[in-house]
C-alpha cells in the first residue's frame, strides 16, 4: 500500500531593497530601516535571504532604483532562489508594473506597505479590525490593478467568457476583466466604509457613556513593540495578548484601573505606529485611532533600550500630527528599563511637549507606582470641582452637566438647584457665572 506524506508549502524567501536619499538621510538610517523591514518580513512569515541598498540623489521615474540596480536585484534573486522582492519604500502603480515586468518570472514584487497590510490582516482578531484591514487593502490595491491581479469577477461568476448582457463579451478579455475588477473593488470599498461608519458611531456612543460616567480615559500609544500591551497587563492585571513581534495587537483594549488616591480611570491600549505607515491604513483605522484623540491623557510608550528610540518618538509624533491631534496632555513613558544600559541615556530633546517623564519596566513591574502618581497629577490639572447654583428656569444647564461632567450630588434651595460637579478645566469659563462661593 502506497505511503503518502503531507508536506507544508515552502516558506517564501525575499530580497529586501532599501533606498537612501543623499542630503536628507544617512547610511545608518537606511540600514536601520532595512533591519526593521527584516522584522516586518519575518513577522509576515517570509524568510529574508539578502538585501540590496542604494544611496540616490533622486528616484528613477520608471523603476525607482534605475536600470543597473534592477539588474543587480535580479541577480541576487537568482543567486538566492528568492521568490519575493520587497522594497522598503512604497511603490507607485507605475513602479509596480515596471518592476514586475523586469523581474525574473514568478517573482512577486512587494513593498513595505503591502507587508504591513498583510501583518495587520493576520493579527486582526475582531470584526472591526478585519473590516479596517480589508478596507485598507482594497484601497491600496485599486490603483495597482493589472491583468496579473485580476481574479475578483471570476470568483463572483462574472467575466466575458459567459457572454453577459450589454455586449460585454465583445471587448477584449483582459480589458473587460480589469473593468469588472475595478467595479467590484469599488463596490466592496463602499460597503466596508458603510460598515465602518456604523462601528464608528457605536464606538462614539460608548465614549459618550464613558464621558457621562466622569471616568477619565488614559490612552496608550507608541511605536509598535514598545511594550504597550505588557504595560497595560502590568497596571491592570489584565490578559492582553503579548508577543515579541511587530503589531502583535491591533484591536483597542480598555481596562479599569484604580489610582493611588482611589480614583477610577480607564486605560486603553491602541494600535502601534511605525515609520512609513501606509496612509490607507491610518485612514481605515480612524474609528480605532479616535480612542487616542478623545482621551484625557496620552501615555507615549517608548522602548528606552532601542537604538532608534528617538526616531520612533518622532515617527509617532508625526503620525499623531497627521491625525490633527488635539492638545491632550502627554506623559513620556520610557519602558523596558530592564534592557537599558544606563551608559547610553535617552537623547530625545523635545521634552517640553510632555507633562511628565517616567522610567518603567512593564515586565518587572517596576516604576508603576511613579507612573500612576504622574497620571493622577496630570488628571488633576485637567479637571476642576465646582459648586454651582443653577436657577430653576435653566433646567437645560443642569441636564447638560450630566453629559459633560461628573455630578456628585444636587440639592434644591429657594433660588435654584445646587450642583456639585467635576468638569474638564476647559469648561470652567462656561459655568463660572453659576459658581457658588462658600463664605467662611
pLDDT per residue over 195-238, tens digit each? 888 877 777 676 666 565 567 889 999 998 899 989 998 998 86
Confidence label for 25 from pLDDT (cuts 50, 70 and 90): low
For residue 171, the model assigns a pLDDT of 40
Residue 1 pLDDT more than 50?
A: no
Residue 164 pLDDT more than 80?
A: no
Tell me the CATH architecture of domain 214-381: 3-Layer(aba) Sandwich (3.40)
User: Is the whole model's pTM more than 0.85, yes or no?
Assistant: no
For residue 419, the model assigns a pLDDT of 95
Could you tell me which residue, 176 or 113, shows the higher pLDDT? Answer: 113
Which residues, 6 or more positions from 417, have their beta carbon under 8 angstroms from its beta carbon?
389, 390, 392, 398, 410, 411
| Contact yes or no for 302/224 (Cβ under 8 A) | no
Q: What is the mean pLDDT of the chain?
A: 80
DSSP assignment of 55-124:
EESS-BTTTBS-HHHHHHHHHHHHHHT-SEEEESSPPPHHHHHHHHHHSPTT-EEEEHHHHHHHHHHHH-
For residue 245, the model assigns a pLDDT of 53
pLDDT per residue over 59-76, tens digit each? 888 899 888 999 999 999
Apex CA 25: angle with CA 20 and CA 30, to 5°? 45
| Contact yes or no for 233/240 (Cβ under 8 A) | yes
Confidence label for 15 from pLDDT (cuts 50, 70 and 90): very high
Confidence label for 250 from pLDDT (cuts 50, 70 and 90): low
pLDDT per residue over 295-332, tens digit each? 889 999 999 988 888 888 988 888 888 777 778 899 99
Mean pLDDT of 185-195: 89
- Give the length of the chain: 440
Written out in words, the top-level CATH class of the domain with range 13-119 is alpha beta
For residue 335, the model assigns a pLDDT of 94
For residue 176, the model assigns a pLDDT of 67
Pairwise CA distance, residues 251 & 129, whole Å: 6
| Radius of gyration from C-alpha coordinates of the chain | 27
Q: In what order do the strands lie in the sheet with 416-424?
A: 383-391, 416-424, 406-412
For residue 162, the model assigns a pLDDT of 34
For residue 343, the model assigns a pLDDT of 59
Amino acid at each position: 500500500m502506497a505511503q503518502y506524506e503531507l508536506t507544508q508549502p515552502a516558506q517564501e524567501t525575499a530580497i529586501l531593497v532599501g533606498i537612501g536619499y543623499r542630503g536628507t538621510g544617512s547610511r545608518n538610517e537606511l540600514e536601520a530601516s532595512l533591519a526593521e523591514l527584516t522584522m516586518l518580513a519575518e513577522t509576515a512569515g517570509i524568510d529574508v535571504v539578502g538585501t540590496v541598498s542604494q544611496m540616490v540623489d533622486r528616484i528613477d521615474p520608471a523603476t525607482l532604483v534605475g536600470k543597473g540596480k534592477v539588474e543587480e536585484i535580479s541577480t541576487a534573486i537568482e543567486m538566492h532562489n528568492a521568490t519575493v522582492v520587497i522594497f522598503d519604500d512604497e511603490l507607485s502603480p507605475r513602479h509596480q508594473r515596471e518592476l514586475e515586468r523586469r523581474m525574473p518570472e514568478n517573482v512577486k514584487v512587494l513593498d513595505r506597505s503591502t507587508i504591513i497590510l498583510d501583518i495587520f490582516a493576520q493579527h486582526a482578531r475582531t470584526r472591526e479590525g478585519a473590516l479596517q484591514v480589508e478596507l485598507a487593502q482594497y484601497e491600496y490595491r485599486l490603483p495597482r490593478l493589472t491583468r496579473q491581479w485580476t481574479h475578483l469577477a471570476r470568483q463572483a461568476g462574472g467575466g466575458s467568457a459567459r457572454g453577459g448582457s450589454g455586449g460585454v463579451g465583445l471587448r477584449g478579455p483582459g480589458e473587460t476583466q480589469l473593468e469588472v475588477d475595478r467595479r467590484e473593488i469599488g463596490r466592496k470599498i463602499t460597503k466596508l466604509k458603510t460598515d465602518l461608519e456604523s462601528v464608528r458611531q457605536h464606538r462614539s456612543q460608548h465614549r459618550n457613556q464613558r464621558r457621562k460616567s466622569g471616568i477619565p480615559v488614559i490612552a496608550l500609544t507608541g511605536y509598535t513593540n514598545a511594550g504597550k500591551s505588557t504595560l497595560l497587563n502590568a497596571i491592570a492585571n489584565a490578559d492582553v495578548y503579548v508577543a515579541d513581534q511587530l503589531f502583535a495587537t491591533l484591536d483597542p483594549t480598555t481596562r479599569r484601573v484604580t489610582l493611588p488616591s482611589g480614583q477610577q480611570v480607564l486605560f486603553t491600549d491602541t494600535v502601534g505606529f511605525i515609520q512609513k505607515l501606509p496612509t490607507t491604513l491610518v485612514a481605515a483605522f480612524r474609528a480605532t485611532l479616535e480612542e487616542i484623540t478623545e482621551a484625557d491623557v496620552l501615555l507615549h510608550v517608548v522602548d528606552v533600550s532601542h537604538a532608534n528610540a528617538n526616531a520612533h518618538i518622532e515617527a509617532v509624533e508625526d503620525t499623531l500630527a497627521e491625525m490633527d491631534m488635539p492638545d491632550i496632555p502627554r506623559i513620556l513613558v520610557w519602558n523596558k528599563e530592564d534592557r537599558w544600559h544606563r551608559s547610553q541615556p535617552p537623547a530625545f530633546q523635545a521634552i517640553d511637549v510632555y507633562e511628565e517623564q517616567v522610567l518603567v519596566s512593564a515586565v518587572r513591574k517596576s516604576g508603576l507606582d511613579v507612573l500612576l502618581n504622574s497620571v493622577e497629577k496630570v488628571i488633576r490639572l485637567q479637571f476642576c470641582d465646582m459648586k454651582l447654583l443653577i436657577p430653576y428656569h435653566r433646567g437645560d444647564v443642569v441636564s447638560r452637566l450630566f453629559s459633560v461632567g461628573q455630578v456628585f450630588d444636587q440639592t434644591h434651595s429657594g433660588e435654584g438647584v445646587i450642583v456639585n460637579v467635576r468638569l474638564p478645566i476647559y469648561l470652567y469659563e462656561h459655568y463660572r457665572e453659576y459658581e457658588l462661593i462658600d463664605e467662611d
